[in-house]
A and B are shown apart, each in its own frame.
Chain A
Amino acid sequence: MFRCSGLAMIVTLLGASAWASPHWNVSLGYLSWQETLTLQSGTAKDFGSSNFSGNNLNLSYEGDFGQSPHGWRVDGGFSAGTATAGGNQALLVYQSSNVPWTGENLSVLYRLQLSPTMTLAAGPLALARQISYPTVTNSTTTATSGASVNFGAQGNLRFNLTPTWNVQFLMGALGSNANTLWDFSIGYLF
């Protein structure tokens, strides 16, 4: 008695197909990634971690490869947040927190429409970010991390909760002295 009828499900799917691509999507999300922190003081060198977290505003446009579930998507956006660096090194003492950063990202993705309401996408990712780590008073230790422009790959899963609103889970890997990136966002199709 609690089960949907097959008819209801068909109606749902037919209704959903009306909002297939091409379309724009704007999303607001929370993202984080980690970079390898490099500390230098004279000839001494040490390594730690730097955790980035913040919010991003993304705009995407997507289309199909003909009448098929396969398609493409271009994602681009801006992000800003803070980073926490260091604190667990063996050799050089360095720790800073709430270090502001800004970033820009661009992805070109292959897109697979799993159903009218679910999309799986994957492809290369470029992430540029600007950060300047503070120096510690009375210390010669300087800190850098990752790369100003980094490249990697990402995969994401988008669920359309309504014809306009959606949620997206994203995981990615960055290449240059950085690793896992993830992002959870809420989007609006138009």
Chain B
Amino acid sequence: MKRTIVGIALFCGLKSGIAHAYPEFIGYGYTSCLTCHFNGLGGGPLNDYGRALWSAEISSRALYPKTMDDEAMGNQSGFLGSVELPAWLRPHVNYRGLNYERNFGSTSPTYTWLNMQEEFGVTVQNDDSGKFLGTVTFANIIQPQNYGNGSEGFDHVLAREAYVREEIAEGWWIYIGLMEKVFGLRNDDHESPQRKYAGFYPILSYSQGTQVIQNKDSAGVILHRVQEKWETAVNLFAGNPYDTVNLQAKGASALSEIEIGDRKRLGASVLTSQSNLLNKDMAAIHYRQGISKGSSFLGEYGFIHDQPAGAADSMGSYTMGEAMVLLTRGYNLKVTVERYNQFFNPTTNENWTWDVGLLSFPLPRVELRADLMNQRILTTQSASPDQWFLEGQIHVSL
């Protein structure tokens, strides 16, 4: 079907579109993102507890002497290690690089290195309880056409995320600023159909022959209620000021999650947004469960209804299932299966991705990934050979 907007699914799209949340950590018993992140919906800079947790529980201690206990590792998790900064000041720096081999195993593989994330920022809080704080993250965002051709540089540094947060009453949080919209599980892979087609992927699109860029974060207000057994968030948003006016989507979204058993959470999300080029309505249900210590299962199923201006609308769906197994401290096996179809009927393309990978935290502040991905398109139109990708990824978070 001809559409006026054609999303170009670049392999990695724009950099700095990564959520960095780990809903999988329900396997450790951490059910709310607020435990570790300043943003209680997940993603963005870690708070002191999250930093200490990464060092003292998540990452491997193989390279540390046995005489150093977890508490001592946690005490070195600050921005400057064990040098304590004033409680009101929490800087952060993040780098993520990805090397991927397309057509892995074929006679004509291609290799690309992408600097996916080059971010720095600071969080300022009134005290270490964080009842009131402000945070800003600047990111180097490269024009997508410059990916991998060596011409990228610090040519587009902007505030990707900037908001103030206040705990207005016990368990009630309000966020105002530029943030990721509230919807679904904040999967750490922005290439995932669960995030990509739901609008949480920085998109290079063509609109009437002109390239435009859409960022995934949006200016708005989030009201977040967090209780031990449930949480709910409501988000009103008005678009990203860095986007072209036609792409600035205004709307609302909401998410609720309830604990239905020990380390078992069931959730639902809705979102509606309107821009000059695209109206989008989505609904999803998700489930996550801690299976045993450090291991978890995630699942999400959602509908996406798109109404592009001047074109027929589409109603599609996606499915995501993920199993993460803690092999030994700091090292995890991750298996993910994802499906997406743009039109919710049995005759159109089903895009499937199967990913088997190693997610490791060999050191505090360092994450390494290796993934082997199989992509298959099931359609009644034709059968094309599978595509294979081999990815290696490094993430350093200070």
Contacts and interface: CB of A to CB of B under 8 A. Distances in A.
B293 interface: yes
B380 A51 contact: no
A135 interface: no
Size range of the chain A interface in the assembly: 35 or more
B383 A51 contact: yes
Interface stretch (A1-9, A38-46, A146-154): A1-9
Contacts, number: 117
Contacts of B354: 171, 180, 182
Interface in B267-303: 289-293, 295, 297
A53 interface: yes
A117 B378 contact: no
A87 B377 CA distance: 13
B310 to A, nearest CB: 30
B379 A84 contact: yes
Contact of A13 (B34, B35, B292, B382): B292
B63 to A, nearest CB: 24
A55 B228 CA distance: 40
B352 interface: yes
A116 B295 CA distance: 12
Contact of A179 (B333, B380, B386): B386
A146 B278 CA distance: 44
Given A3-B35, A87-B384, A167-B323, A53 B378 contact: yes
B154 to A, nearest CB: 38
Given A32-B376, A159-B297, A169-B321, A49 B29 contact: no
B292 A118 contact: yes
B212 interface: no
B325 A118 contact: yes
Nearest to A145: B383
A167 B295 CA distance: 14
A172 B378 CA distance: 18
B330 to A, nearest CB: 16
A164 interface: no
B28 A3 contact: yes
Contact of A159 (B262, B323, B385): B323
Contacts of A16: 292
Interface in A64-100: 83-88, 95, 97-98
B380 A1 contact: no
A2 B228 contact: yes
9 contacts: A3-B35, A8-B262, A50-B383, A87-B382, A97-B380, A114-B325, A117-B295, A157-B333, A167-B321
